[in-house]
Amino acid sequence: MAESLRYYIAHNGGLKIMENRSGSMNTVGEFFEGKTLEHVIGCRQKPEVIFAAVAFDGGYRSEDAGKSWTKVMEGDVRTFTVDSHDERVVYMGTGPIRLFRSEDGGKKFEPLDGMLALSDEVKKKWDVPPRLRGIEAPHVRHIYVHPDDANLIFVLLEHGGVLLSRDRGKSWEDRSTGISYVDMHYIESYPGSKERFYVSSARGFFRSDDVGKQWRRVENGMPWGYTELHSYSHEWHFMPGDKPRMVVCGGRGSPGVWSREKTTPLGHILLSDDGGENWRISSNGLGKENPYMPWVLLRHPLDRNALFCGMGDGARGYGFDARVKGRGGFYVSRDRGDSWEPILRDTPSILTAWVAPI
């Protein structure tokens, strides 16, 4: 029987909601015209509850699968995380850098300002590239609640580094040692471990075995691995199994590099079955010269071996010109990232997405 899934696909300039019923894809709604969504995420237990982080505009919540939206926060909202321990708990990150938490399913948020008490020495790293100063502020990129410990939270800053709380967000410490260019993207723990973590960034992919006290690059086999400007990685996940597999979205440098060097992202999807010590490119169904950056990687809500990936040649975080649509596509892998097939071809550049069962 064909899957019944709802797709939330965010392009530069809006959100499209599509449904796949009996193998046929149909658009059921379009929202946020002329605005750029930085993140879309929903609840697993209540898939009709969805959150949208809209850059420079606010944070939005829907409780009817995107048919209508309520603004729950003004300002430059960049990311949400739903606590897997209790879906009534939702975290939100903004720019300028600030963290919020909701205890009622995302209807009302309260600030968690412990990180603002960090030293000036730490906070001087909270910055953006010179050409963006005065245009946008450093912001929270990703909030990670450890799946085995709701008190252990990592927050990634773009730019600014890695922050750790062991007391559910009351107090914080900087955990960026070993990372020289602190433009951070996504973090996860090795399955079952509270010590071993991996993090992606604009310049390098890193591993820590001591809860982030010290990071080292693990890029053997990555194209442009260990280079200063071109080892770029974004979203990634561990896939379950006897040997946990890592699936990482990468490209040749950041959007700033693409602009300066007048090149396409040359994106790739990377796989490792040995904890990141060695990597190989997954090119089956994608081609070796991919003009797109794989921006968003999603676990399938029903199939533990399947992944979705949204790609595009448009940049996240630079410009937000809704008139520049770019090009991209949306892909699925049903074999833990070994091969890929398109669900949507020739779309505008896809910046973020979410998939939920109907």
Q: Is 275 exposed, middle or buried (0-12, 13-18, 19+ CB in 10 A)?
A: middle
Ramachandran assignment for 66, one of left (phi > 0), alpha (psi -120 to 50 degrees), beta (any other): left
Of 96, 106, 61, 89, residue with least CA distance to 75? 96
The model's pLDDT over 271-325, given as tens digits with 9 standing for 90+, comes to 999 999 999 999 899 876 788 999 999 999 999 999 999 999 876 654 456 667 7
- CA 148 to CA 316: how far, in whole Å? 31
pTM value is 0.95
Q: How confident is the model at residue 12 (pLDDT cuts 50, 70, 90)?
A: confident
Which domains can be identified in the chain, with CATH numbers?
A: 5-357 (2.130.10.10)
Helix or strand holding residue 255 (H, E): helix 255-261
Flag the least confident range among 38-47, 129-138, 242-251, 302-311: 129-138
DSSP string, 202-233: TTEEEEESSTTSS-EE--TTSTTTT-SSSEEE
Per-residue model confidence (pLDDT) at position 14: 92
Helix or strand holding residue 261 (H, E): helix 255-261
Per-residue model confidence (pLDDT) at position 2: 61
Per-residue model confidence (pLDDT) at position 315: 67
Per-residue model confidence (pLDDT) at position 321: 62
DSSP string, 102-127: ESSSSSS-EE-GGGGGS-HHHHTT--
Say which residue, 34 or 111, is predicted with more confidence. 111
Q: Given a cut of 80, is residue 69 above it in pLDDT?
A: yes
Q: Given a cut of 60, is residue 29 above it in pLDDT?
A: yes
Of 82, 97, 91, 14, residue with least CA distance to 49? 82
Q: How confident is the model at residue 132 (pLDDT cuts 50, 70, 90)?
A: confident
How open is the CA angle 69-75-81, to the nearest 5 degrees?
65
Per-residue model confidence (pLDDT) at position 1: 41
Q: What is the arithmetic mean of pLDDT over 45-74?
A: 97
Helix or strand holding residue 257 (H, E): helix 255-261
Q: What is the arithmetic mean of pLDDT over 124-146?
A: 92
What percent of the chain is modeled with pLDDT above 70? 97
Q: Given a cut of 70, is residue 25 above it in pLDDT?
A: yes
Q: How confident is the model at residue 45 (pLDDT cuts 50, 70, 90)?
A: very high
Per-residue model confidence (pLDDT) at position 318: 47
Q: What is the arithmetic mean of pLDDT over 38-58?
A: 96
Per-residue model confidence (pLDDT) at position 232: 97
Q: What is the arithmetic mean of pLDDT over 194-216?
A: 98
Q: Given a cut of 50, is residue 249 above it in pLDDT?
A: yes
